[in-house]
Each structure stands twice: as structure tokens, then as C-alpha cells.
Amino acid sequence: MRMFLSPDNEFGVAIKESGDIVSVFKHPATDKSIKAVDILLPKAIENGGTHLDCFNPILPILYAKHRMEPIAKVKFNEEFAPENWNFTRDGTPDIIFMVYNKEANPPQDPTLLKELVQKQISELPYSSYEKAIEKQIFFTKK
């Protein structure tokens, strides 16, 4: 796994050998959330990142800006919730599986991008986690 940190150590990302982009993070005290994604995703893609999964509804829109496209969704499973998950604040969002599509041309207008991504996600059938991974692998090998 390769890891990349911002010069100020306030945000970073890791990429598995498989191309799975994982551990996109920012320090809780930073106000650079949007900026962080705009720096981290291109860096991850340049360094072999081809796919990721994330919680709906905000992250897929941020990632779609960088040509990540939703290809599968899985219902939230409380059994696999991250440690210390705040159900009151964060609810039980679907997990969205995305793949990088270099041919994608996402709308630059944030409202249009949000509408497009929400429509794409709403049209996806629910899948098992295993089937979503299989679909990601299939699309990353195209």
C-alpha cells in the first residue's frame, strides 16, 4: 500500500496494490475538506488508483468531480459499521462503489453534478458487498 500526505499533514490518502483508493482522510480540525478531495483524488489516480467505495450522499458527488462513476450500491450493515460510528449524526448511509472513467466528462456546475450522481445512484439496484466488488474489478479491467 502506498500513502500520500499533504505537506501540512492535514489530509492524506492510501492506494492498495489493486488500485483501491482507501483511507481518504482529513484532520478533524482542518477546514480544507473540499480542497483535500480536489488534491487527493487526482494524486491517487495519478498513482494507480482506479476505484473506491464511500458513504452516500456527499462523498460520491465529491469523487464524481474527478471522473469516479458509481457502479454499485450496498445497504449499510450495522454489523460492519466503523468503530465509534455515530448513528445519531451519520445514520445508515448506503455504500457506493465507484470506478475511475478517464472518458467521463462530469458537469462543472455543482448542482448539475449533484443531480447526475444522485440519478445514477438511484438507478442502481442494491447488491451484495461481494457482487459490488466483482463489478468494480470487472470495470477496472476494461
Q: Where do the domains of the chain lie? A: 1-49, 51-141
Least confident of 34-38, 102-106, 124-128: 34-38
Query: What distance separates the 2 farthest-apart alpha carbons in the chain?
Result: 41
Mean pLDDT of 108-119: 97
Question: What are the C-alpha distances in Å from 42 to residues 12, 46, 51, 121?
Answer: 12, 6, 12, 22
Q: By percentage, how much of the chain surpasses pLDDT 70?
A: 97
Confidence category of residue 29, pLDDT binned at 50, 70, 90? confident
Q: Which residues pair with 39 in a beta bridge?
A: none
pTM: predicted TM-score of the whole model, two decimal places = 0.93
Provide the H-helix boundaries in the chain: 33-46, 58-64, 87-90, 110-122, 129-140
Confidence category of residue 33, pLDDT binned at 50, 70, 90? low
Report the pLDDT value the prediction gives residue 51, as an integer from 0 to 100. Answer: 98
